[in-house]
Amino acid sequence: VSLGCGIGLIPRMVLEKSPFFNRVKILDETPELPPFVIGLCTREKNLANPRVKALWSIAKEK
């Protein structure tokens, strides 16, 4: 996409915090996407980080 042509799919919250926010066009007409699986991975030592630990805990519940 940063080459000047392409389509990307990211959460709006991520885009709003991105330095590229003003350089992308958000499409008004978007198709409804089917549910999809998201995989998470991290190094075991990162599980000691409270933020990573919280995300990991929520992901395990699903």
Each residue's pLDDT tens digit, 15-28:
999 998 888 888 88
Strand ranges inside the chain, DSSP E: none
Q: pTM of the full predicted structure?
A: 0.47
Domain presence at residue 44: yes
> What is the end-to-end Cα distance of the chain in Å, rounded?
32
d(C-alpha 13, C-alpha 18), whole Å: 9
Domain presence at residue 43: yes
Whole-number pLDDT of residue 62: 66
Domain presence at residue 4: no
Q: Nearest Cα to 24, choosing from 36, 12, 41?
A: 12
Q: How many domains does the chain have?
A: 1
d(C-alpha 17, C-alpha 12), whole Å: 9
Q: How confident is the model at residue 60 (pLDDT cuts 50, 70, 90)?
A: confident
| Coil/strand/helix, residue 16 | helix
Domain presence at residue 39: yes
Domain of 24 in residue numbering reads as 12-28+35-61
